[in-house]
Amino acid sequence: MKNTQGHSLDFLFHPNSVALVGITTANPLHWTRTFLDALIESEFARPLYLVNPKGGEIKGHRVHTSLRDIPGNIDHVIGLVNAHIAPRLVEECTEKGVRAIHFCTAGFGETGDPERIKLESELVEAGRRTGIRIIGPNCMGIYCPESRLSFSPAFPMEGGPVGFISQSGGNSVYLVRQAMLRGVRFSKVVSYGNACDIDENDLLEYMAADPETRIICLYIEGIKDGRRFRKALEKATREKTVILLKGGTTEGGARAVAGHTAALAGSRSTWEALCKQLGIISVRSLDEMIDVLVTLLFMPLPGGRNAVLFGIGGGASVLIADEFESRGLRVPALPEEVVSELQEFTPAAGNILRNPVDYSQSMMDAESTRRAFEIVSRWTGTDFVVTFVRTGQFVLPWLSGARLHMLLGRFWIDRDRLPKPMAMVLEPSLLPQEAEAILTAINECVSSGLPVYYSFAAAANAINLVLSNAQTRPGAV
């Protein structure tokens, strides 16, 4: 039987001390060094120990030759050792009062090699015998801004309402790094890998009860106990919004899962049906997950599906109207009275006073832009407004940081006075001279609490998913 004493997993996220066992002393770019870099950068404030039989020093931290060598208790071990000695490390940890070991180490069941499958069961056995809980192996472990536990440099130390349970380490790093650029912050992130002890059920039950977590994201490759997982999901969705990305829903994907975390994948239709029943938002990529998070966090729920699209670009207007309507949203015609009101102060040439409103030629006039924007927002037929400045279509002089900034400033300055939820679409650019201006604009929108999307398709898709979810779970979002 598995080691599930039923007590809260809170100790995993708030260790009193951490030891990095198996960190490389020689090569500062070795992957094991990432964990030390992360904890130094996060300014982890509790005792932090390094262990390597060779001893020595790294960045002013003494390297102990063994765990025994360390004075006092150790709460949490990050195991970076070779898979072959992992079971022995568990035994060694008992002496030091270790409560949890996160094994980053790969090379267990996921290889498909019988010897290494056996090694993983030895690890499970050692955990059970000692009572020490194990995260992994083959994963990145825990990121918790509150306790400053982190597995990657450049993660934000400001917390937020999103919990992420990810079977994959790479996907967890990707999500945190990309979502942080859009203003998303996390309560707890766990990359749990092969799940030899602590698994998706333990973590989901914990997150469902965690007061710091309002939205639960899941990247799941496979589950071992379907009944318990469903129960945990039911509980989680009762009070929180759950977003699920299921990896391995195709034949090739399922084979990849077998090689990655040795889990059983399950068919796409089964998972879709489950999500539908329980009111879970099902996404098909990490980027889609981030788009949904941004919508949930920064866009007050619109009263309906009617979008007014306001910005720059005639050809863009046509394509974004198609993007929105083909994804379940509506881009209604502006009524005569709204158009007349706009016509009073807007030149006809180069502006298109329909919906989308292409304000290309008048955008340089700050006052009329703001006035037009407020008029279309105020219209009772408008449920939300999406602003488009299709940066990629402009010739370079347009895109000086100052000009772009000025254009975009038209929209967000009066945001609090706007009567409708709004969203910004800002397309990233590869060109350095544009990239900087766009990044600045993205940062300013994010600081103002606006939802930012990188494409019209992404915005339409996420807003549609959130609206559809809200309809099935009234009052929950």
Question: Residue 330 carries which DSSP code?
Answer: B
Q: Give me the least distance between CB of 436 and a copy of itself, in Å please.
A: 7
- H-state helical runs in 355-429: 366-378, 401-412
- CA of residue 398 relative to chain centroid, distance: 33
Output the DSSP codes for 133-186: EEE-SSS-EEEBTTTTB-SSTT--SS--SEEEEES-HHHHHHHHHHHHTTT--E
Residues 349-388 that bind a copy of itself (CB under 8 A): 349-350, 352-356, 358, 361
Length of the chain: 477
405 binds a copy of itself (CB under 8 A): no
Q: Which stretch binds a copy of itself (CB under 8 A): 6-14, 94-102, 291-299, 391-399?
A: 391-399
Q: Does residue number 315 form part of the binding site for a copy of itself (CB under 8 A)? A: yes
- Among positions 332-351, residues that touch a copy of itself (CB under 8 A) are 332-333, 348-350
DSSP state of 72: S
By CB under 8 A, the residues from 10 to 39 that bind a copy of itself are: 29, 31, 34, 37-38
Residue 257 binds to a copy of itself (criterion: CB under 8 A):
yes
Q: How far is the CB of 179 from a copy of itself (least distance, A)?
A: 11
Using the rule CB under 8 A, give the single segment among 18-26, 92-100, 435-443, 460-468 that binds a copy of itself: 435-443
Q: Is 430 in the site for a copy of itself (CB under 8 A)?
A: yes
**Nearer to a copy of itself among residue 212 and residue 322 (C-beta):** 322
| Structure-block tokens of residue 382 | 């408008």
Nearest to a copy of itself of 57, 251 (CB atom): 251
According to the binding rule CB under 8 A, does residue 314 interact with a copy of itself? yes
In one-letter notation, the amino acid at residue 122 is E
Distance CA(122)–CA(253), nearest Å, equals: 28
Buried b (16+ CB within 10 A) or exposed e, 246-285: bbbbeeebbeebbebbbbebbebeebeebbeebbbbbbee
Give the closest residue to 410 by CA, choosing from 385, 435, 381, 384: 385
Least distance (Å) from a copy of itself to the CB of residue 290? 11
Where does this chain touch a copy of itself (CB under 8 A) — which range of 12-20, 57-65, 152-160, 373-381? Answer: 152-160
- Which residue, 92 or 221, is less far from a copy of itself as judged by CB? 221
Query: If binding is defined by CB under 8 A, does position 260 make contact with a copy of itself?
Result: yes
CA gap 113, 318 in Å, rounded = 55
Asked whether position 437 contacts a copy of itself by CB under 8 A, the answer is: no
Nearest distance from residue 261's CB to a copy of itself, in Å? 8
Least Å from the CB of residue 249 to a copy of itself: 6
Q: Count the neighbouring beta carbons within 10 Å of the beta carbon of residue 170.
A: 13
Handedness of CA 348, 377, 313, 369 (dihedral sign): positive
What is the Cα–Cα distance from 462 to 46, expressed in whole angstroms? Answer: 40
3 state DSSP class of 355: coil
Member of 53, 259, 300, 449 binding a copy of itself (CB under 8 A): 259
321 binds a copy of itself (CB under 8 A): yes
Q: Per-residue x/- marks for a copy of itself, 279-308, CB under 8 A?
A: -----xxxx---------------------
- Report the DSSP beta bridge partners of residue 357: 310, 353
Smallest separation (angstroms) from a copy of itself to the CB of 145 = 16
Contacting residue, 85, 319, 418, 477, with a copy of itself by CB under 8 A = 319
- Nearer Cβ to a copy of itself, position 29 or 45? 29
284, amino acid identity: R
- Whichever of 231 and 330 has its CB closer to a copy of itself, that residue is 330
x-or-dash string of contact with a copy of itself, 158-197, rule CB under 8 A: --------xxxxxxxxx--xx--x----------------
Looking at the Cβ atoms of 65 and 343, the one nearer to a copy of itself is: 343
CA-based nearest residue to 265, from 283, 281, 286, 250: 250
Residues 79-138 that bind a copy of itself (CB under 8 A): 82-83, 105-107, 110-111, 113, 116, 138
Q: Specify the residue, 240 or 410, whose C-beta has the smaller distance to a copy of itself.
A: 410
Query: Is residue 209 close enough to count as binding a copy of itself by CB under 8 A?
Result: no
**H helix runs in 219-335, sequence order:** 226-239, 251-260, 268-278, 286-298, 314-325
219 binds a copy of itself (CB under 8 A): yes
Distance CA 240, CA 208 (A): 7
